Each structure stands twice: as structure tokens, then as C-alpha cells.
Amino acid sequence: ELTYFNGEFVEPGAKCVSLDDRGYCFGDGVYEVTRVFNGRCFAFSYHQDRLYRSMRFMDIPVKMPPEDLQELHEIMIEQSGITDGYIYLQITRGVEPRHHAYDRAKLEPTMYMYIRPIKEDLSKLGDGVKAISLPDERWHHVDIKTLNLIPNILAQTKAEKKFAYSAVLFRDGICTEGATSNVFAVKDGILYTHPADELILKGITRQLVVTRVAPTAGVSLIEKEFDREFVDNADELFFTDTIGGIIPIIKLDRQPVGNGNVGPVTMKLRDGYEKLLAEGLA
């Protein structure tokens, strides 16, 4: 584990954040989580693009140019010696006495990063997980990867209390995404997922499934809204996220999904995703 804070490496958990940091008071900031595999960042350019998009939306000035940000990621991998793990990056708006409105000109963003190894056996996720359904109670811009994750935290905690891996969220009867992931359904061999609008986070794993993995595997995909009934009749369901990749859901609300086993389309896509991860992607 290696931790970075505003230009230097510090002890993990070091007390260096001001109490007046807007990240601390308001959750006023953005973040990214990038997978490190075989000693390299996977799909770094995708994460970088999403980070800068989140910052533009939030009106947080970019102080570190893309080349330096990439180099910092590489240095953290090198210095930590971690080859299989992830890098968390958080940028908050900066430090000033608490007041809702901010003064962009006066603020210097705070940057915090760490690299940690992945210790759990992720291959176990391939056996499939249980999920529960919950209402999506978040704001109308979850496409921005902000630190404000209260509804996600509450949903994930509810799921874990019920011994589920995570929650599938529904807004006005429509399946949006997972508490910490995106959601795909398979029906009659066709893959479905919610369009990448402002009601879901445009997950990088989702994006790679849509643009690379599904086309390579010859699986047709439709990005459109689908409802609870569609989910209940789906042959297969899965989550996608940076750490777990493609995670089959074999039970939803204690009912089996399809025949209750990991389905063939999910398996094929998992294989394709793992191949892409092993090959690496800039």
C-alpha cells in the first residue's frame, strides 16, 4: 500500500486533511478507481477521460496535466511493487471556511490517491452472486463520479445485511444500475443494458463490454430501458465494475435468475473480458 497526498507520499491514514476541506464537509469532489493488472493500469485513458469530464461538470480546475497524472499512476505502481490491485484517486474542491457557494479563483484542489493490492480471490465471483433489488433514490446526475454516495452506501449496506453481494436499483420501475456497478440482462441471447444517460454512471467496464467484449464474442446488444418484469424474466443477469469485471447474478430477491446457474452468454463475456484484461489496454 502506498498513499499520496498533495504532492508527497505519506503514511496510509495520515492526518493531513484540513477540517475545512470541502471534501470533508460537503463530499464536494470527484473520484476514480483504476484496476492495476500485470503491473499496469488497465484502461487508464478511459478513467482519465471520465475524471476530467466529472471535473468539468463540477467546475473543479484541472491542475495536473494528463501526462503527469498517468506518470503518477505509473510511479505508484513501481514504488509500491503492487502488480494486482487498484488505484483510488480523489480530488476535492479545496479548503475554505464552510459556505455552500464556492469561490473558484481562491481554491486549490486537494488530491489524494492510494494503491492497494487485491487480496480476495476474484475468480470466485465467476460462480455467481446473490443480489437484492432496491429503489434508486439518487440525484439526477449519477453520470458524474462524485464523492456523494450516500444512497449507494445505504443500498450496499442493506444488501450486505441480507447476505447479498449487492443491490440492483430501480427508478420509476426501470432498472438503472447496481449500488456500485452497472447491470446487464440477457434475454433470448441478446444483451440489454440501460442507456448511458445521466441516470447511470457510464462505467468503464460497461463501456468495454458494449464496445469491445460483446462485439468480439458475437453477442448482439441493445442499450435501452427495461423494467422489473423484464428483469424477472431474464435468462441471465450480471453486474460490471472495475474490480470484479463481469459478475454473474444467480439469485435476485431469493429467486433464481434463469435456471439459477451462470448462463452461457455471461460466461462467454467473462472469458472475453478476462482476455482483454490480460492483454492490457491503454
Task: Name which position in 131, 205, 248, 250 contacts ligand PLP (CB under 6 A).
Answer: 205
176 binds ligand PLP (CB under 6 A): no
> What secondary structure does DSSP assign to 165-199, as a single string?
SEEEEEETTEEEEESSSEEEEEETTEEEE--SSTT
Name the minimum Å distance from CB 280 to ligand PLP. 17
Task: Name which position in 3, 48, 152, 166 contacts ligand PLP (CB under 6 A).
Answer: 152
201 binds ligand PLP (CB under 6 A): yes
Q: What are phi and psi of 258, to 5 degrees?
A: 60, -130
180 binds ligand PLP (CB under 6 A): yes
Q: Shortest CA distance to 30 belongs to which of 79, 90, 86? A: 90
Considering CB under 6 A, how many residues would be counted as binding ligand PLP?
13
Q: Are 34 and 87 in contact (CB under 8 A)?
A: yes
34 binds ligand PLP (CB under 6 A): no
203 binds ligand PLP (CB under 6 A): yes
Strands (E) across 23-149 are located at 29-37, 40-41, 85-92, 110-117, 129-135
Q: What are phi and psi of 91, to 5 degrees?
A: -125, 120
155 binds ligand PLP (CB under 6 A): no
Query: Cα separation of 176 and 26, whole Å?
Result: 25
The stretch among 71-79, 173-181, 219-227, 255-263 that binds ligand PLP (CB under 6 A) is 173-181
Query: Cα separation of 176 and 273, whole Å?
Result: 22
Task: Name which position in 21, 28, 136, 177 contacts ligand PLP (CB under 6 A).
Answer: 177
Which member of 145, 187, 251, 268 is catalytic? Answer: 145
Active site residue 145: yes
Burial (CB count within 10 angstroms: exposed 0-12, middle 13-18, buried 19+), residue 138: buried
Using alpha carbons, list the distances in angstroms from residue 210 to 6, 20, 98, 205.
36, 41, 42, 9
Cell of 188: 433470448
181 binds ligand PLP (CB under 6 A): yes
Task: Name which position in 48, 182, 193, 266 contacts ligand PLP (CB under 6 A).
Answer: 182
The stretch among 53-61, 113-121, 198-206, 218-226 that binds ligand PLP (CB under 6 A) is 198-206
Task: Name which position in 112, 240, 247, 250 contacts ligand PLP (CB under 6 A).
Answer: 240
Query: Cα separation of 211 and 90, whole Å?
Result: 27
Q: Are 62 and 89 in contact (CB under 8 A)?
A: no
The stretch among 4-12, 91-99, 126-134, 234-242 that binds ligand PLP (CB under 6 A) is 234-242
136 binds ligand PLP (CB under 6 A): no
Name the minimum Å distance from CB 108 to ligand PLP. 27
Name the minimum Å distance from CB 208 to ligand PLP. 8
Contacts to ligand PLP by CB under 6 A: 152, 177, 180-182, 201, 203-206, 240-242
Catalytic residue numbers read 145
